[in-house]
Structures are given as structure tokens and as C-alpha cells.
Amino acid sequence: MTILNTVKGFLDNSEAKKLAELINLTANLGPGLEIGSYCGKSALIFGEACKQNNSFFFTVDHHTGSEEHQVGEEYHDPDLYDSKLGKFNTLPELLKNINQSPMQNNIIPVVGDSASIAKRWKTPLGLLFIDGGHSMEAALNDYHGWNEFIIPGGLLAIHDVFPDPKDGGRPPYEIYCLAKKSGNYEEIEMVKSLAILRKIIR
């Protein structure tokens, strides 16, 4: 997985390995989709697995960054600031990384706000990976807007789930709890901060 060393992003090796496995578990059900492309680290991991079984992966992002990526914030990367646009912009880096890879035909970037796209989305999904904004509003929009598209038997994966508030922010953990409480999901596994649930078949 050279992607892990060459592409900017926020994934640990064990989480990345697990993400690739999720494609193999769900490709027969339907395509996968993630919220939060950033520079394509997770999308390329998913895409590499998709290439092996001729499946597709959608990656959604407005590309202007989450709160923590903005100028002056903890995770701001000045290389990703577009001075012509006067804003943070990860789209050129994403397109460069996809186009330089052998997975360019397996990854489909969808550019825009997650909630706006969800309202117009129709395609059922085998896998949904939520790794978008970390505000409560963003996390709730991602969960409520997208989880209905997961096919029964398909997987919901959520990144940055920290059961102990000392380890990090709460919204991803809150939607993970909502999914469990809904009665529609069974918990499968937790790898570092990556939570994996399966939609129950009724």
C-alpha cells in the first residue's frame, strides 16, 4: 500500500488494511461511497480493492475542507490553500492522485456538499464510509442523509469514533451510537477509530 506513504491524509495502516477488506465483503451487493475524499487516501485504498473485482467507488467532498483544515486551525495544510480562489481546496490534489494511479476508472469523484448530494442520490450502496465533517450538524447530516441507501447486509463504516472523549471529538461517536440504537445495524468490529456495522437483513 504505497498510497499510505505518498498521499496526504488521515488514516492509520491498520485502518487502511481494514477498509480494503470491506470492498471484498460488499462488492457483490453494490458500489461503495465515502463522504470525505480530502486528497484521496481512503478513496485510493478502496479503489485498489475495487480494481481487483471490477467494482466502483464514489467519493464525495466539497473540497473546501472541514473546520479543522481552515487557516489557523490545527490541521491546516498551507500546501492545500488555493490563493487564487482564496480558500482551502483539495480537489486538484485529489484529481492528480487519482489520475496518476492505475485505479482511475474505479474511483468516481462527486464534488459538492454531502447533504445536498444525499437529497438527490438514488443508487443503493453496498458500503458507506463516513469520514466527513466533524461538527454535530455535519455528522448527523451524513448519517441521516446517507444510511438509508445501504442495502441490507451492506456495511456502514465510520471513522474517528472515540468512545472516550479524552481521545477526540464526539460527533462521529454519537452517530455510531445512533446507528446501534436504531436497531437497523449490528456491530461487527472496531479497528482503532474505525467502527464497522452491518445493516441487518429483515
**Interaction residues for Mg ion, span 5-24 (CB under 5 A):** 10
**Interaction residues for ligand SAH, span 33-92 (CB under 6 A):** 36, 38, 41-42, 60-66, 90
Q: Which of ligand SAH, Mg ion, none does 160 bind, CB closer than 5 to 8 A by kind?
A: Mg ion
Cite the beta strand spans of the chain per DSSP E: 32-35, 57-61, 81-82, 87-88, 107-111, 125-130, 150-158, 185-191, 194-199
Beta bridge partners of 194: 191
194-199, strands of its sheet edge to edge: 107-111, 57-61, 32-35, 125-130, 150-158, 194-199, 185-191
Q: Does 18 bind ligand SAH (CB under 6 A)?
A: no
- Does residue 76 have an active-site annotation? no
**Interaction residues for ligand SAH, span 104-143 (CB under 6 A):** 113-114, 131-133, 138
Q: Which of ligand SAH, Mg ion, none does 90 bind, CB closer than 5 to 8 A by kind?
A: ligand SAH
Q: Which residues contact 135 (CB under 8 A, 6 or more apart)?
A: 66, 67, 171
Q: Which of ligand SAH, Mg ion, none does 38 bind, CB closer than 5 to 8 A by kind?
A: ligand SAH
**Shortest Cβ distance from residue 183 to ligand SAH (Å)?**
27
Among 9, 30, 47, 171, binds ligand SAH (CB under 6 A): 9
**Shortest Cβ distance from residue 45 to ligand SAH (Å)?**
8
Active site residues: 134
